[in-house]
Amino acid sequence: MTVGSVTGVDRPVDIHLTVSSGEVVAIVGDNGAGTSTLVKILSGVHAPTSGTIRFGGDPVTLPTPQASLDRGIATVFQDLALCDNLDVVANLFLGQEKRKLNLDEIGMEVRSWELLRQLSAKIPSVRIPIASLSGGQRQTVAIARSLLGEPKLIILDEPTAALGVAQTAEVLNLVERLRDRGLGVILVSHNMEDVKAVADRVVVLRLGRNNGEFRVGEVTTEEIISAITGATDNAVSRRASGRAGAEEGAAS
């Protein structure tokens, strides 16, 4: 997918972005940087006022969320949109049940297990209520649901927010499995450790515009923070400088 200087209506943005199959691209930025607007444009929630979007080399329009799904773009929003009182199967197929007038419960259960196995999910039963699952397991269900339409690109909006260490590791493993399956992944995150753990490239947005693009193996956390804030003098860079000075002093 290539996004060419898309301008949004929710918040002014002018952004260029390219994502390839089998690649994880992290989108990072401070509050108001334009990440949410970009996600809404790509998911069909908001239509851009100008610019171009190419998918598979062809120009596309995404006027509605369904149009985005039909193009092969699935979005997992931060709130996950899961129903706590329903089990895993019901959440996976909510709104797209097989044979709606005569539910194919067995077929949906089999398909649910297939999706979860593809992700190596640690969920004890597909008949367990969502309310009984951990944060990492809930994120797994939301990602599995996004795979039902066999997308080519998945957008994950802050997938590790408010998760513990073990649950975060579980979700990051899921991201790697999506990449291994040849899917393009856009990872929106404020957590630099998560970004550097799984992303191939980092695209920094600032005030609605591109403010840096880096290969993860070639950039430091300090450089990413500097691009996000627009300042080289920040708490992260000062700590890094202090550590470097301490190490030089100890060596001498």
Radius of gyration of the chain (CA): 20
Residue 4 reports pLDDT greater than 70: no
Residue 236: pLDDT over 60: no
Confidence check: pLDDT of 10 > 50: yes
| pLDDT tens column, 25-82 | 999 999 889 999 999 999 999 888 888 999 988 999 999 999 999 999 999 999 999 9
What gap in Å lies between CA 208 and CA 202, rounded to an integer?
16
Helix (H) or strand (E) holding 4: strand 2-7
Two structure tokens written together for 77: 């929003």
Whether the per-residue pLDDT at 113 is higher than 50: the answer is yes
pLDDT-based confidence at residue 97 (cuts at 50, 70, 90): low
pTM of the entire predicted model: 0.85
Question: Percent of the chain, pLDDT > 90?
Answer: 67
Of 112, 90, 167, 103, which Cα lies nearest the Cα of 136? 167
Q: Is the pLDDT of residue 215 over 80?
A: yes
- Hey, what domains does the chain have and what are their CATH numbers? 2-82+150-219 (3.40.50.300)
Torsion, Cα 44 46 48 49, to 10 degrees, reads 150
The reported pLDDT for the residue numbered 232 is: 54
